Structure 1
Amino acid sequence: MSNVNGEEPFDGDELDLDLLEAELRQAAAILDPVPAELRQIAVEAFALHDLDARIAELTFDSVIDAIPVRGAVDVPRMLTFHAGEVTVDVELTAQGLMGQVLPPQTARIEVLRGPQAGSPLSTDDMGRFTSAEPPVGPFALRLRTGEGVVVTDWLTA
Structure 2
Amino acid sequence: MNDDVFDGVDEDAWDDGFDCDRLEEELREAAAILDPVPAELCRIAVEAYALHDLDARIAELTFDSLVDAIPVRGAMDPPRMLTFRTGELTVDVEVTSEGLLGQVLPPQAARIEVLNGPQPTAPLTTDDLGRFACDAPPAGPFALRLRTGGEVVVTEWLRA
TM-score, normalised with respect to structure 1? 0.77
What is aligned with 1:84? Answer: 87
The gaps in structure 2 that reach 5 residues or longer are: 1-14
- For residue 129 of structure 1, what is the amino acid of its counterpart? F
Indicate the residue corresponding to 2:102 in structure 1. 99
Q: Gaps (5+ residues) in structure 1?
A: 1-14
| Secondary structure at 2:47 match in 1 | helix
Q: Distance in 2 between matches of 1:140 and 1:130?
A: 14
Match 1:130 to one of 130, 133, 144: 133
Against the structure 1 CA distance between its residues 77 and 121, is the aligned structure 2 distance closer, same or farther, given a 3 Å change threshold?
Answer: same
The alpha carbon displacement at 1:70 in A equals 0.6
Q: Write out aligned runs for 1:1-157 (5 A).
A: 26=25, 29-33=28-32, 35=37, 37=39, 39-157=42-160
Q: Deviations over 1:92-148 (max 9, x none)?
A: 112211000011111110001111101210001111000111112111111111141
**Stretch deviating more after TM superposition (32-41 or 65-74):** 32-41
Cα offsets for 1:53-101 (capped at 9, x unmatched)? 1111110011110101111123111100001111000011122110000
Q: In the alignment, residue 111 of structure 2 is paired with which amino acid?
A: R
Of structures 1 and 2, the larger Rg is shown by 2
Q: Give percent identity, aligned residues only.
A: 66
> For 2:147, what is the secondary structure of its paired residue?
strand
